[in-house]
Chain A
């Protein structure tokens, strides 16, 4: 099976990266919010441990995805989009890529600053990037929080844009990222 189709659809590899990482990001929001509601204890520790393992999984996938994306450009945007829409689409996609790295890296830095080394599902331990530092931890936590709000906001924008393309513009922008969808006849 070719990894990139000439039809303008996203390839199977691109779709796999997109949907797996999207699902992991949703998991991250759920785990983080469940953990933050808990008092100090085993359950909080367990949820954050999973949050960290999933976060490091996203970081590793982000490296692969970026490398893959640089070699395999995305299909072109559909004709008829205004320059502003094109700029907004590019900016959103670039921001996603930046956040795919920034979220896990600030998370790993947070753990380092708090002297809680990050294990990847108990299989191996990531190195601490910085030494224990309470002030740095607080600053990193604020950064990690704000980046998560930005991520949430652009995810909402991204979903609304996909729906707008599908239902308003009636183009194939949404369908070309859906694994089982047929290409819409334009």
Chain B
């Protein structure tokens, strides 16, 4: 074998190997453990921040750092499970003028693509909330631990983009338009 041929052969062999390995390392399927996971939002009311959580949600997470193309998040949030640690505020949030949970009981987030960032990963996805579907990017970190993983991240959205604020609540003077979402999901392998 000439030296040239040997080099070409090696290149071909490594390409085959890489393809085989890449194919094997598809995105692993996880589901969020509801008892350890937390989905939180922070709003600003009369100049002061307040936090709330959604107690009930399901998250089907297919993710692998080396298989971003086949990664996929599908998150469903039961909006009536909102808890901002005040019943008056929760009633208002569930009401027709804000989330209108009677007509739109769930929010749905589905990703379309992922990119690697300096600190972690970024996803582009569509959030359907109150009958409106709009892109909301999220930034997150993914930490594998054993068979499970931890997914931590945040997103920013504007509540009025989704109509979450009708009538008097359309004003942003006393309740800010911007709402921060943050999440910490403990992922378990999906069976």
Query: Which residue numbers of A lie inside 8 Å of B, CB to CB?
Result: 40-43, 45-46, 48-49, 52, 114-123, 125, 132, 134
Contacts and interface: CB of A to CB of B under 8 A. Distances in A.
Interface string B163-176: 00000110101110
B177 to A, nearest CB: 14
A117 B49 contact: yes
Interface in B82-125: 84-89, 91-92
Contact of B168 (A41, A49, A116): A41
B45 A116 contact: yes
Interface string B41-85: 000011111100000000000000000000000000000000011
A10 B171 CA distance: 46
A49 B174 contact: yes
A29 B92 CA distance: 26
Contact of A114 (B47, B49, B86): B86
Contact of A46 (B46, B84, B87, B88): B46
Contacts of B91: 40
B169 A42 contact: yes
A77 B48 CA distance: 45
Which DSSP category, helix, strand, loop or mixed, fits chain B's interface? mixed
A57 B45 CA distance: 19
A132 B90 CA distance: 14
Given A45-B174, A46-B174, A40 B88 contact: yes
Contact of A42 (B47, B50, B171): B171
Given A42-B168, A43-B168, A125 B86 contact: no
For A52, A117, A118, A134, the residue with the greatest tally of chain B CB atoms inside 10 Å of its CB is A117
Given A40-B92, A41-B168, A125-B47, A116 B173 contact: no
For A41, A48, A118, the residue with the greatest tally of chain B CB atoms inside 10 Å of its CB is A41
A123 B47 CA distance: 7
23 contacts: A40-B88, A41-B168, A42-B168, A42-B171, A45-B45, A45-B46, A46-B46, A46-B173, A49-B46, A52-B46, A114-B86, A115-B86, A116-B46, A116-B48, A116-B86, A116-B89, A117-B48, A117-B49, A119-B46, A119-B47, A122-B46, A122-B47, A125-B49
